[in-house]
Amino acid sequence: MKRNSGFSLVELLVAVTIMLILAGTVGVSVWQWVPRARVARATNDIEALKSAVAMYRADNFTVPTQRQGLEALVRRPTIPPVPRNWREGGYLDSAAIPTDPWGTPYAYLVPGPDGAAFEIVSYGADGMPGGEGDDADISSAAANQ
């Protein structure tokens, strides 16, 4: 007598069903952390940009103007006032200014609120000022309060 070894169709279906249930449970658990991760990334990016602006200020005795924008951290500005002590290679580790986790450029405002020299803002998922939840603004000024 010849004996066939292997799994039956029922055994395979049970195994696949169990894997799908586990994948669905893990997927739902992970998916709820995505908004928090985006907020954490935006907060970290803003802190890094804020530090880069502080280094620019230490070298040039002023922050980049609003017209120069955050680009002044990666490319020497040609718009007056042109910095005399601009650091070769820029003030960030990358050659480009990052976008926020929702793909929108960070806003750079000069002067900032409450007498601050500047403010760096992500307008959240909707890309517009104000909002709640995923649409809430994330600001360098909020970190100072």
Assess whether pLDDT exceeds 50 at residue 68. yes
- Average pLDDT over the chain, rounded to whole? 87
Q: Which residue reads 């952390």 in tokens?
A: 33
Out of 104-108, 109-113, 114-118, 141-145, the most confident range is 104-108
One-character DSSP codes across 15-54 = HHHHHHHHHHHHHHHHHTTHHHHHHHHHHHHHHHHHHHHH
HEC letters along 124-144: CCCCCCCCCHHHCCEEHHHHC
- The yes-or-no verdict on residue 1 having pLDDT over 70 is no
- How much is the pLDDT for 143? 55
- In words, the CATH class of domain 36-143 is alpha beta
Parse the chain into domains and list their residue ranges: 36-143
| Predicted structure pTM score | 0.74
Q: Rounded to an integer, what distance in angstroms lies between the CA atom of residue 139 and that of residue 130? A: 11
% of the chain residues with pLDDT over 70: 94
| Cα angle value 19/6/13 (rounded, 5°) | 30
Write out the H or E segment, with its range, that includes residue 109: strand 107-109
Our CA dihedral for 131, 132, 135, 140, rounded to 10 degrees, sits at: 80
